[in-house]
Amino acid sequence: MIDGFVPWPDGLAQEYRRAGYWLGRPLGDLFQESCARHADRVAVVSGERELTYAELWDDAQRLAYGLLELGVGPSDRVVVQMPNVPEFVVLVLALLRTGAIPVLALPGYRRVEMEHVCAHSGAVAYVVKDAFGGFDFRQLAREVSFAGPVLVSGDAQEFVALDALAGAPRELPSVDPSAPALFLSSSGTTGPPKLIPRTHDELAYLMRATARAMGAGSDLVYLAVNPVSHAAALACPGVLGSLLLGGKAVLTSSVRPDEVFPLIEREKVTVTSLVPAVLRLWADTGRPHHDLSRLVLQIGSAPLDSALATRARKVLECGLTRWFGTTEGFLAHTRVDDPEEVIENTEGRPLSEADELLVVGPSGEPLPDGEAGELLVRGPSTIRGYYRAPEQNARSFTPDGFYRTGDLACRRPDGNLVILGRIKDVINRAGEKISPEEVERHLCTHPAVRDAAVVGVPDRTLGERTYAFLLLRTDIPPAAVKTHLRERGLATYKIPDRIVTLADLPKTAMGKPDKEALRARARSS
CATH of residue 492's domain is 3.30.300.30
CATH of residue 314's domain is 3.40.50.12780
- Residues 442, 302 share a domain: no
Last residue of a domain, one of 199, 216, 246: 199
CATH of residue 111's domain is 3.40.50.980
Assess if residue 2 is contained within a domain: no
- Residues 57, 186 share a domain: yes
Please name which of 195, 168, 174, 173 lies closest in space to residue 184, comparing C-alpha atoms.
195
**Amino acid at site 103:** V
Indicate the DSSP class of residue 15: H
Distance separating alpha carbons of residues 298 and 279, to the nearest angstrom: 10
Give, to the nearest 10 degrees, the angle between helix 436-443 and helix 478-487: 100
Assess if residue 380 is contained within a domain: yes
Last residue of a domain, one of 422, 456, 487: 422
Distance separating alpha carbons of residues 320 and 314, to the nearest angstrom: 10
Alpha-carbon Rg for the chain in angstroms: 23
Distance separating alpha carbons of residues 519 and 142, to the nearest angstrom: 32
Distances (CA, A) of 188 to 113, 149, 374, 522: 9, 26, 20, 21
130 phi and psi angles, rounded to 5 deg: -60, -55
> Which residue(s) pair with 187 in the sheet?
none
- Residues 293, 371 share a domain: yes
Distances (CA, A) of 412 to 221, 409, 521: 33, 10, 37
Assess if residue 464 is contained within a domain: yes
- Residues 353, 479 share a domain: no
Residues 6+ apart with CB under 8 A from 147: none
- Residues 405, 503 share a domain: no
Q: Going residue by residue through the chain (525 aa), what tens digit of pLDDT does each one get?
A: 799 999 999 999 999 999 999 999 999 999 999 999 999 999 999 999 999 999 999 999 999 999 999 999 999 999 999 999 999 999 999 999 999 999 999 888 888 889 999 999 999 999 999 999 999 999 999 999 999 999 999 999 999 999 999 888 999 999 999 999 999 998 654 557 899 999 999 999 999 999 999 999 999 999 999 999 999 999 999 999 999 999 999 999 999 999 999 999 999 999 999 988 899 899 999 888 999 999 999 999 877 888 899 999 999 999 999 999 999 999 999 998 999 899 888 999 999 999 999 999 988 999 999 999 999 999 999 999 999 999 999 999 999 999 999 999 999 999 999 998 878 777 878 766 688 888 998 899 999 999 999 999 998 777 789 999 999 999 999 999 999 998 988 778 789 999 999 999 998 877 789 999 999 999 998
Residues 6+ apart with CB under 8 A from 375: 357, 358, 359, 405, 407, 408, 409, 417, 419
- Residues 403, 520 share a domain: no
Distance separating alpha carbons of residues 107 and 329, to the nearest angstrom: 21
- Residues 184, 65 share a domain: yes
Assess if residue 248 is contained within a domain: no
- Are 43 and 249 a contacting pair, CB within 8 Å? yes
- Residues 415, 438 share a domain: no
- Residues 180, 82 share a domain: yes
Query: Whole domain around residue 509: which residue ranges?
Result: 434-524
- Residues 193, 161 share a domain: yes
Assess if residue 218 is contained within a domain: no
- Are 163 and 91 a contacting pair, CB within 8 Å? no
Assess if residue 294 is contained within a domain: yes
Distance separating alpha carbons of residues 506 and 495, to the nearest angstrom: 22
Domains in the chain: how many in total?
3
Distance separating alpha carbons of residues 92 and 420, to the nearest angstrom: 36
Using DSSP bridges, classify how beta strands 221-224 and 248-251 pair: parallel, antiparallel or unpaired.
parallel
Burial (0-12, 13-18, 19+ Cβ within 10 Å), 325: buried
Distances (CA, A) of 311 to 190, 266, 282, 317, 341: 34, 24, 11, 10, 14
187 phi and psi angles, rounded to 5 deg: -70, -20
- Residues 279, 159 share a domain: no
97 phi and psi angles, rounded to 5 deg: -70, -35
Last residue of a domain, one of 422, 454, 470: 422
Assess if residue 381 is contained within a domain: yes
Whole-prediction pTM: 0.85
- Residues 394, 263 share a domain: yes
Residues in the chain: 525
Assess if residue 210 is contained within a domain: no
